[in-house]
A and B are shown apart, each in its own frame.
Chain A
């Protein structure tokens, strides 16, 4: 099998329902080999369900999934040996040492001890776990556990690494470290598919991004391609001193399509002709008793894209 000629992961009209609840609806997607691909969407968008179907943990109600051309339903064991899966939870046993965890996962794939030891040395160095590998996992920080989980998912040298919300719950420093590790793995030729609801993560890491909402893929492309979908609108971000509950209602009439994003004390709006529009916005805010502190013109982000495509924010 020459994997290079095939797509790393293909979803064709994949749907999944739980009774009356539709989790996925006709999802079709192709992910290239050696690509770092992000599934971006809010909680409940269907990202985890899609990844579980790819890994073979659950079966789709309809549709077809192929990993390097192999049908996941017909040859699940073969497919599983090609995939390294890191679910949202840490997948390592607290009562075992890091080394025991990795040896256990190696034994599940029937990897000879000498090969497993060689790979463990390699990934432990790559993931910066040298000093911790002989300690019990119960003594690890959250970031270390996540790195060990990735090592455990790489132990059988999979071509495709699937990560579900890999940085959720990590502090900013651990998150940056993990980004670096994922980039290094990509450079080693791994195909990486990850689900995330962090736009900055998708923008910083992904070659391509699929935006998901309510069980559907609403857009696919590189971050730049997607950002172009925001159009000729100018994005302004207003930091306010006193965010009021009615802030969104106050700002909505001035923003294109009535779409407004509020995060903490920041108000994000989309203006068609900002030279004439901006003074009116300020005047409107002041009239409503909202005090602007700073105003800046901002570059579009994937969150802006998500808002434009779905009419709501990611969080």
Chain B
């Protein structure tokens, strides 16, 4: 009981010190909030309709070229500017003032009216490979739909004439008894539109909206916080008190080295909890959906996984403390490790989808990534206990092993510091 009181006294003291330290406030509260906001507004923005700035130069004066321009405008895919000079339009396109351009040649309307083949040329601006590909898709998609629509209209006109003359055809023709008007209509429409195609987007059952993606990323941010806070607390567990001059006095009190470490671990978890609350609140504010259910054991297992991830990183931090003689050195080492780790371990982006092959293999066996990934699949995607329970023994074992090694290192470092 006395031991618990001492640990809580240390936790409370460390928490007070942390909350009065601007750098801790930045890394524990501001940094995760920035990550959530960047996620919401930059990396996972609201889906918006793309509108291309399009130029049109028509060498044709007929009605069908006007119909084409009108179709461009009404599609809402293009904001159209008409040019009276072809060279001026191409110049605007190559300077990047236009995203696409359309050239309607002379005789376009006449050929369409006569039912002859005709030409129409489109140009797109190559801003970069990705946008060029998008622009090309939009322009080709529009032209495909426009052409098909045109073909169907032509077919319908042909069918109308066929209906008018059908009676005469059947009466006068020697093969009239074989003629079937309905079949002829279908055949003509089939010529205009040989295959009716459709594309449907299928999303996973539990990943149906941007809100879920944001919820997923909010848990990733909490995972990142376990990485930074855990490494920081572990690597400075001894040197911080040494630099403050308080280490000797603390250990001259009834506090044991393990109680000191327990107090620091608890204060680290408390800071991560505060950070997680701030992160979740901001996440909810920008539209994230969280799948926490107090009656669902999977939700509690997910929280346990995040705690174990923090303990795992505290253990790694304790091991780092062998080489971190000052808190400044510790800070530099943490930055050198944590930032690359954040992006390459799969803790930030989900590993199977985004990481290249060697990193993906590492992420799949990395206990910290497993801990965070399973937690976010439960709390972010709303997956059930089956998605997390099989991984729990691995996460517990890894956290216990690394933390135990860390404790041995901590004791050795402490002994060395006390004897100085």
Interface residues of A (CB under 8 A from B): 18, 52, 55-58, 77, 80-81, 83, 85-87, 89-96, 100, 104-105, 107-110, 149, 152-153, 156
Whether A105 touches B253, Cβ cut-off 8 Å, given contacts A85-B248, A90-B245, A91-B248, is yes
Distance A107 CA – B2 CA, assembled complex (angstroms): 10
The 8 closest A-B pairs by CB, nearest first: A89-B245, A107-B9, A91-B249, A85-B252, A87-B248, A108-B253, A95-B20, A55-B252
Whether B251 is near chain A, meaning CB under 8 Å from some CB there, is yes
Task: Using CB atoms, name the residue of chain B closest to A54.
Answer: B252
CB B48 to nearest CB in A, in angstroms, measures 47
Distance A152 CA – B418 CA, assembled complex (angstroms): 20
Say which residue of B6, B9, B246 sits within 8 Å of A91 (CB atoms).
Answer: B246
Distance A52 CA – B419 CA, assembled complex (angstroms): 9
Whether A58 touches B418, Cβ cut-off 8 Å, given contacts A77-B254, A152-B249, is yes
Q: Determine if B2 and A110 form an interchain contact, defined as CB atoms under 8 angstroms apart.
A: yes
Q: Determine if B252 and A92 form an interchain contact, defined as CB atoms under 8 angstroms apart.
A: no
Whether B44 is near chain A, meaning CB under 8 Å from some CB there, is no
Whether B148 is near chain A, meaning CB under 8 Å from some CB there, is no
Distance A85 CA – B20 CA, assembled complex (angstroms): 27
Say which residue of B20, B254, B418 sits within 8 Å of A108 (CB atoms).
Answer: B254
Distance A87 CA – B251 CA, assembled complex (angstroms): 11
Q: Determine if B17 and A108 form an interchain contact, defined as CB atoms under 8 angstroms apart.
A: no
Q: Which residues from A are CB-within-8-Å of B12?
A: 104, 107
Q: Determine if B248 and A89 form an interchain contact, defined as CB atoms under 8 angstroms apart.
A: yes
CB A156 to nearest CB in B, in angstroms, measures 8
Quick one: CB contact mask for B1-17 with A, threshold 8 Å, 1 for yes?
01001100110110011
Q: Determine if A96 and B13 form an interchain contact, defined as CB atoms under 8 angstroms apart.
A: yes
Distance A96 CA – B21 CA, assembled complex (angstroms): 11
Q: Which residues from B are CB-within-8-Å of A152?
A: 249
Whether A108 touches B252, Cβ cut-off 8 Å, given contacts A93-B17, A95-B20, A96-B16, is no
Q: Which residues from B are CB-within-8-Å of A109?
A: 253-254
Say which residue of B6, B10, B245 sits within 8 Å of A110 (CB atoms).
Answer: B6
Distance A109 CA – B253 CA, assembled complex (angstroms): 7
Q: List 10 A-B contacts (CB under 8 A).
A: A52-B418, A80-B253, A80-B254, A91-B248, A93-B244, A94-B244, A96-B13, A108-B10, A108-B255, A149-B249
Q: Determine if B255 and A96 form an interchain contact, defined as CB atoms under 8 angstroms apart.
A: no
Distance A86 CA – B253 CA, assembled complex (angstroms): 11
Whether A108 touches B9, Cβ cut-off 8 Å, given contacts A58-B418, A58-B419, A91-B249, is yes
Task: Using CB atoms, name the residue of chain A closest to B252.
Answer: A85
Q: Determine if A108 and B246 form an interchain contact, defined as CB atoms under 8 angstroms apart.
A: no
Q: Which residues from B are CB-within-8-Å of A153?
A: 249
Q: Determine if B5 and A85 form an interchain contact, defined as CB atoms under 8 angstroms apart.
A: no
Quick one: CB contact mask for B225-256 with A, threshold 8 Å, 1 for yes?
00000000000000000001110111111110
Quick one: CB contact mask for B244-271 with A, threshold 8 Å, 1 for yes?
1110111111110000000000000000
CB A138 to nearest CB in B, in angstroms, measures 10
Q: Determine if A104 and B254 form an interchain contact, defined as CB atoms under 8 angstroms apart.
A: no
CB A308 to nearest CB in B, in angstroms, measures 32
Q: Which residues from B are CB-within-8-Å of A85?
A: 248-249, 252
Distance A152 CA – B245 CA, assembled complex (angstroms): 13
CB A136 to nearest CB in B, in angstroms, measures 9
Task: Using CB atoms, name the residue of chain A closest to B243.
Answer: A89
Given contacts A107-B9, A110-B5, 16 further A-B contacts (CB under 8 A): A52-B248, A56-B252, A57-B248, A57-B251, A85-B248, A87-B248, A87-B249, A89-B248, A90-B245, A91-B245, A91-B248, A93-B246, A105-B249, A108-B6, A108-B255, A153-B249
Q: Determine if B249 and A107 form an interchain contact, defined as CB atoms under 8 angstroms apart.
A: no
